[in-house]
């Protein structure tokens, strides 16, 4: 009897082992075109139970079909949420201005989600095969809708009034986020490659384009109102039209927002840039470049020569999202030779100089000046080259896929008792293709912090704003202002096992890793891993940065 019992147990364990292997194989190795049950498909998502409540309960389909179904359902949910927020805004007479601003943020973000999901659905509806850039496009859009959801939620939670609205929006907002996460997971497993084709590190900088070339002879003709199409010489920038902003009235406009309003709507990539040349001066205005204002290039006369400045802050009743002096959503935006400021000061807490949610955008030779939350790299794909960024608390934050290259990051003197943190990256989902890559930059103290004699200010490379926060410093100079531990917790052990923080081949007195944090998510990486976070691999920048004329290095030094 004992022998038979042992034999039966052995057979059961044998069956269970191979059944488990089959399940594992179904999650990772089965071809996306193979019919599978909803349960098997959902096992590849962060929330299988919710996923199974979303997908059809009968029959079987393949991952492609489940992905399309989920994206279609997500689009319907995004439209309903926009209508819900619209309804509250139409009856907002009893709300505070802060609550109205939070709702307006949610409306803008939900409208963007509808656009992004429509675009994603259009791309995947007719094919199981996507080009590399198409795959990255869709994954980027699906990543951004989760960021938009989180931003809406953060704004509502920070609003001290209108509890009934917050409570009534929380459930549809939360369920929408869970559904969008399912869509991203199913798309990633079906269409995105299991591992990107990584270019191996080279001993040179890769593809370095010459600095942005704008024909100065053409600049001299600006005031005549002539249109210009630059020649198709290598590295030239194609410009469809040019307007001048000059405070003395000698240009086409005296303020920047009027020039933005004059730009044509929904231009195509190959139409060329609408170039706004902003002459030297201090422009006290709030500039917003909407989603339909695409392919705008803004050229100033240099850092501290052309200055755009404002002072909105959370303390004064703005959400972090709409506290920005300069906000851009229209894709393929390029800014060159401009200083962006928020002068609210450290006592006003969150006060954004630039909020960037423009896909395939680039800033070159620009300066960003503020204290807490200076540069909001909100979402989508971004690149910064030869820029200066000044701040105190979390002063580079957001959830874009962004590379900073050859930039200067300056920690300023904060309020007494405050801690400086260079980055607070906001990735909320393991399938988002987002993160902050700091490559060949200089990380140091600004003049006011360097001159402080008490030496009591602690300064850190970053802290995890959200659960899957991802930040990499590589081949950068890190000065002694950075605490030897390098990184700061957000709250207790939140995200310490799920974040991804990494350092590679940095130099300087603050670059030593012997005393760094021992978190599960912290890594000292090699060249192969670091290559994943280069312009070429992380942003696929070789395919879209060249037409901007902004110089860039594709790979590691």
Residue 140 lies in a domain: yes
pLDDT of 30 reads 81
Question: Does 244 share its domain with 185?
Answer: no
How far, in Å, CA of 554 to CA of 385, rounded? 12
- Pick from 74-78, 85-89, 518-522: least confident: 85-89
Residue 27 lies in a domain: no
Question: Does 311 share its domain with 346?
Answer: yes
Residue 22 lies in a domain: no
Question: Does 184 share its domain with 246?
Answer: no
Residue with tokens 């980027």: 140
Residue 26 lies in a domain: no
Q: In the predicted model, is pLDDT for residue 202 greater than 50? A: no
Residue 206 lies in a domain: no
The domain of 326 spans 218-226+237-548
Residue 397 lies in a domain: yes
pLDDT of 196 reads 53
- Residue 238's pLDDT band (cuts 50, 70, 90): confident
pLDDT of 17 reads 39
- Residue 304's pLDDT band (cuts 50, 70, 90): very high
- Other CB atoms within 10 Å distance of the CB of residue 93: 6
How far is CA 188 from each of CA 144, 181, 201, 239, 516, rounded to the nearest angstrom?
14, 10, 26, 36, 33
Question: Does 187 share its domain with 259?
Answer: no
Q: In the predicted model, is pLDDT for residue 23 greater than 70? A: no
Question: Does 408 share its domain with 360?
Answer: yes
- Pick from 24-28, 148-152, 154-158: least confident: 24-28
Q: What's the total number of domains in the chain?
A: 2
Letter string b/e over residues 163-202, b meaning 16 or more CB atoms within 10 A of that residue's CB: eebbeebeeebeebbbbbbbbbbbbbbbbbeeebebbebe
- Residue 292's pLDDT band (cuts 50, 70, 90): very high
pLDDT of 214 reads 53
Question: Does 222 share its domain with 76?
Answer: no
- What CATH number should be reported for the domain holding residue 376? 2.160.20.10
Question: Does 249 share its domain with 114?
Answer: no
Question: Does 63 share its domain with 109?
Answer: yes
| 8 or 29, higher pLDDT | 29
Residue 6: is it exposed, middle or buried by C-beta count within 10 angstroms (0-12/13-18/19+)?
exposed
- Residue 25's pLDDT band (cuts 50, 70, 90): very low
List pLDDT tens digits, range 121-152: 999 998 999 999 999 999 999 999 999 999 99
Residue 21 lies in a domain: no
pLDDT of 21 reads 39
- Pick from 224-228, 320-324, 430-434, 543-547: least confident: 224-228
How far is CA 263 from each of CA 257, 259, 266, 267, 453, rounded to the nearest angstrom?
10, 7, 9, 9, 50
Q: What is the mean pLDDT of residues 157-186?
A: 89
pLDDT of 237 reads 81
Q: In the predicted model, is pLDDT for residue 6 greater than 70? A: no
How far, in Å, CA of 334 to CA of 383, rounded? 10
**Structural tokens at position 146:** 């989760």
Residues serving a catalytic function are 394
Residue with tokens 């929904």: 266
> From edge to edge, which strands make up the β-sheet containing 326-328?
287-289, 326-328, 354-356, 375-377, 396-398, 420-425, 459-462
pLDDT of 93 reads 81
- Residue 508's pLDDT band (cuts 50, 70, 90): very high
- What CATH number should be reported for the domain holding residue 132? 1.20.140.40
Share of the chain above pLDDT 90, in %: 78
pLDDT of 206 reads 32
Helix, strand, coil content of the chain in percent (nearest 5): 35, 20, 45
List pLDDT tens digits, range 261-272: 999 999 998 889
Q: In the predicted model, is pLDDT for residue 327 greater than 80? A: yes
Residue 466 lies in a domain: yes
pLDDT of 421 reads 98
Question: Does 188 share its domain with 222?
Answer: no
Question: Does 170 share its domain with 222?
Answer: no
List pLDDT tens digits, range 441-488: 999 999 999 998 677 899 999 999 999 999 999 999 999 999 999 999
List pLDDT tens digits, range 416-443: 999 999 999 999 999 999 999 999 999 9
Question: Does 253 share its domain with 178?
Answer: no
Q: In the predicted model, is pLDDT for residue 536 greater than 70? A: yes
Question: Does 434 share its domain with 326?
Answer: yes
Q: What predicted TM-score, i.e. pTM, was given to this entire model?
A: 0.91
* Size (the chain), residues: 557
């Amino acid at each position: 009897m004992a022998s038979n019992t042992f034999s039966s147990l052995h057979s059961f364990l044998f069956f269970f082992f191979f059944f488990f292997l089959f399940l594992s194989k179904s999650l990772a190795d089965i071809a996306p075109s193979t019919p599978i049950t909803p349960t098997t498909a959902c096992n590849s998502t962060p929330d299988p139970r919710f996923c199974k409540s979303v997908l059809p309960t009968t029959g079987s389909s393949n991952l492609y079909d489940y992905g399309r179904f989920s994206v279609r359902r997500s689009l319907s949910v995004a439209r309903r949420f926009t209508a819900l927020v619209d309804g509250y805004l139409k009856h907002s007479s009893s709300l505070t201005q802060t609550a109205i601003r939070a709702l307006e943020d949610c409306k803008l973000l939900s409208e963007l989600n509808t656009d992004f999901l429509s675009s994603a659905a259009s791309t995947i509806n007719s094919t199981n095969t996507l080009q590399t850039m198409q795959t990255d496009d869709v994954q980027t859009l699906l990543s951004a809708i989760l960021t938009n959801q989180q931003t809406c939620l953060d704004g509502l939670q920070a609003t001290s009034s209108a509890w009934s609205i917050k409570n009534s929006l929380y459930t549809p907002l939360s369920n929408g986020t869970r559904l969008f996460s399912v869509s991203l997971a199913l798309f990633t497993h079906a269409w995105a490659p299991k591992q990107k084709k990584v270019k191996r590190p080279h001993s040179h900088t890769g593809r370095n384009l010459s600095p942005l070339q704008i024909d100065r002879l053409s600049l001299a003709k600006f005031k005549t109102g002539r249109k210009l199409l630059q020649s198709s010489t290598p590295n030239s920038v194609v410009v469809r039209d040019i307007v001048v902003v000059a405070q003395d009235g000698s240009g086409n406009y005296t303020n920047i927002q009027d020039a933005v309003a004059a730009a044509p709507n929904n231009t195509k990539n190959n139409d060329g840039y609408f170039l706004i040349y902003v002459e030297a001066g201090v422009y006290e205005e709030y500039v917003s470049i909407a989603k339909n204002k695409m392919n705008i290039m803004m050229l100033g006369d240099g850092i501290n020569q052309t200055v755009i400045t404002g002072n909105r802050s959370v303390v004064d009743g703005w959400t972090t999202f709409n506290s920005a002096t300069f906000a851009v959503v229209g894709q393929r935006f390029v800014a060159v030779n401009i200083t962006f400021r928020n002068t609210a000061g450290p006592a006003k807490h969150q006060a954004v100089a630039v909020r960037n949610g423009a896909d395939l955008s680039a800033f070159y030779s620009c300066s960003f000046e503020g204290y807490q939350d200076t540069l909001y790299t909100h979402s989508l794909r971004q690149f910064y080259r030869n820029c200066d960024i000044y701040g105190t608390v979390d002063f580079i934050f957001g959830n874009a896929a962004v590379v900073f290259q050859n930039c200067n990051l300056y920690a300023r003197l904060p309020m007494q008792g405050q801690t400086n943190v260079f980055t607070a990256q906001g990735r909320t989902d393991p399938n988002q293709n987002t993160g902050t890559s700091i490559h060949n930059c200089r990380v140091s103290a600004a003049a006011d912090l360097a001159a402080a004699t008490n030496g009591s200010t602690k300064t850190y490379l970053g802290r995890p704003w959200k659960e899957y926060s991802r930040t990499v410093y590589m081949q950068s100079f890190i000065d002694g202002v950075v605490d030897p531990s390098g990184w700061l917790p957000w709250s207790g052990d939140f995200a310490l096992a799920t974040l991804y923080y990494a350092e590679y081949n940095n130099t300087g007195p603050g670059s030593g890793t012997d005393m760094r944090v021992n978190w599960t998510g912290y890594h000292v990486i090699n060249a192969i891993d670091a290559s994943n976070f280069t312009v070429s691999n992380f942003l696929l920048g070789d395919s879209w940065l060249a037409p901007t004329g902004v110089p860039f290095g594709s790979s590691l030094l």
